[in-house]
A and B are shown apart, each in its own frame.
Chain A
């Protein structure tokens, strides 16, 4: 522990750590010698990165391939309006270096995949998972188990937060439970909405990301007892908290990385039908709009999304579509769209399973595709 020393600036900078009796110079040096990989520089990643850099973790890696968007600013506190359109990982790196020049920041501006995960993870002591989708969560978990790394986990939805320290190494060398011991199978894709669809209170990732930072620091320094073998649950709306005991499931076997998209999509039993819905491309919609044939255009997003931008379709949010069936024409082509094409596909599946429609078409790629391929002036969000 003693080969690296704190310089004078660091002694001042970390003075409030050094004066905690349980912390002291030893813990600060452990942080300085440690490396942490933060996967996802979003709502959770922002506070996590800020606190880890401020705390003096020696090397911090950031995995994120996304660009800063306007809808990020409600919760992703590393970014400002000046950063819109720029790489999150690059911006984060820049700001963290300004916050603490003692920290070595490594940027991985790539999508985490089965091909690169083990290679990226292997150089870090601790992995912190702040990703935003199930396939990547299972990938991070399995890669950590395969490489014997601790996975400091947090996850959010609306007012609910979950956190745990997975695959923790206990003093006797045994490993604590991991994500799969708790959730062996991913939910079907339709059942649990992501934050883009279901929303999230902006401050919630602030709370949960800070809890993650606390646990990372505890894992590195060995202070206190980490959130291993426990799942912390927060319902911020009623301020209810729970600490659930979790244990290893003897049936959990992780031997290699798998195809996670397939793993998380395969269990899609709730899909109302197996048959594909009919589709139309954004270019063909544009041709239809220019032509004379009659068609109806329906927008199944929420009213606030319609306000941001729309293709002049009739607004019938997905959750009201079954009750609004009388408004859907039967004597012409009906084109249904949403932001990306997934909610509109659901709308068509629901309508076709309940009513004898054969004239419904899903706009492939939704508004996002329309903005990309037809009308670049359309506001995207």
Chain B
């Protein structure tokens, strides 16, 4: 299934775009999504430090995605 990712901060640089479509398997978990992203974009290899929110709610690795979910990738920023 095709899902849409919203990228924030440095994730936008990695995609080269704020919104990115990606094809994943049916019943894909956040953990699967992370693996898919790492294989497509090696720079995501430390995705453990990025937060993933589904429908405006932070979700852990075992959460299963559906096709209409809004998925946001939120890297931490440190500036002050």
Q: Which residues of A contact B (CB under 8 A)?
A: 40, 42-45, 129-134, 137, 154-158, 160-162, 182-188, 191-195, 198, 200, 205, 231, 233, 235, 238, 242-247, 249, 267, 269-270
User: Which residues of chain A are near B79, meaning CB under 8 Å?
Assistant: 43, 132, 155-157, 194-195, 198, 200, 205
Distance A243 CA – B74 CA, assembled complex (angstroms): 12
Which of B48, B75, B76, B80 is within 8 Å of A131, CB to CB? B80
Least CB separation from A134: chain B residue: B78
Residue from A131, A183, A233 in contact with B49 in the complex, judged by beta carbons closer than 8 Å: A183
Tell me the complex Cα distance, A259–B75, Å.
22
Between-chain CB contacts (< 8 Å), 5 pairs: A130-B80, A134-B78, A182-B51, A245-B56, A270-B46
Bound together, the chains give a CA A161 to CA B74 distance in angstroms of: 11
Could you say which of A162, A193, A247, A267 contacts B58, with CB atoms under 8 Å apart? A247
- Asked whether, in the complex, the Cβ of B51 is within 8 Å of the Cβ of A242, the reply is no
B43 CB–A CB distance under 8 Å: yes
Contact A238–B78 (Cβ < 8 Å) = no
Residue of A161, A193, A200, A269 touching B10 (CB-CB under 8 A): A193
Asked if B77 and A155 sit within 8 Å, CB to CB, the answer is yes
Cβ B80 vs Cβ A238 within 8 A: no
Answer whether residue B8 sits at the interface, using C-beta atoms and an 8 A cutoff.
yes
B53 CB-CB contact with A under 8 Å: yes
Best-buried of B9, B74, B75, B79 by chain A (most CB within 10 Å): B79
Alpha-carbon separation in the docked complex, A291 to B27 (Å) = 67
Does B39 count as interface, using CB distance less than 8 angstroms? no
In the bound assembly, the distance between CA atoms of A349 and B56 in angstroms comes to 39
Choose among A134, A195, A247 the residue that contacts B76 (Cβ–Cβ < 8 A). A134
At the interface, yes or no: B57 with Cβ under 8 Å from chain A?
A: yes
- Give chain A residues whose Cβ lies under 8 Å from the Cβ of B10: 157, 191-193, 198
**Which residues of the other chain, A, contact B76 by a CB distance below 8 angstroms?**
134, 155, 162, 182-183, 186-187, 192
| B80 with A42: CB separation less than 8 A | yes
The 5 A-B residue pairs with the shortest CB-CB distance, nearest first, are A157-B77, A195-B79, A132-B80, A187-B49, A245-B57
B residues less than 8 Å from A205 (CB atoms): 79-80
How far does the alpha carbon of A129 sit from the alpha carbon of B43 in the complex, in Å? 28
Distance of A199 from chain B, by nearest CB (Å): 9
| Residue pair A183, B78 in contact (C-beta under 8 Å) | no
Return B57 CB to nearest CB of chain A, in Å: 4
Q: A228 to B51, alpha carbons, bound, how many Å?
A: 17
Q: Beyond A185-B48, A191-B75: 9 further Cβ-contacts under 8 Å?
A: A44-B80, A133-B78, A191-B43, A191-B46, A193-B10, A198-B10, A205-B79, A205-B80, A238-B18
CB proximity of B38 to chain A, nearest CB, Å: 11
Asked if B60 is at the interface (CB within 8 A of a chain A CB), the reply is yes
Q: Give the CA-CA distance A235 to B11 in the complex, in Å.
A: 13
Contacts of A132 in B (CB 8 A): 78-80
Question: Closest B-chain residue to A204, C-beta based?
Answer: B79
**Do the beta carbons of A249 and B60 come within 8 Å of each other?**
yes
A267 CA to B45 CA, complexed, in Å: 11
With A and B bound together, what is the CA distance between A129 and B77 in angstroms? 13
Which B residues are CB-close (under 8 A) to A246? 58
Enumerate B40-80 residues with CB–CB distance to A below 8 Å: 43, 45-46, 48-51, 53, 56-58, 60, 72, 74-80
Q: Are A192 and B77 in contact (CB under 8 A)?
A: yes
A244 CB contact (under 8 Å) in B60, B74, B78, B80: B74
- CB-nearest residue of chain A to B57: A245
Give the residues in chain B near A131, CB-CB below 8 Å: 78, 80
Q: Would A156 and B80 be within 8 Å (CB), given that A191-B10, A245-B57 are in contact?
A: yes
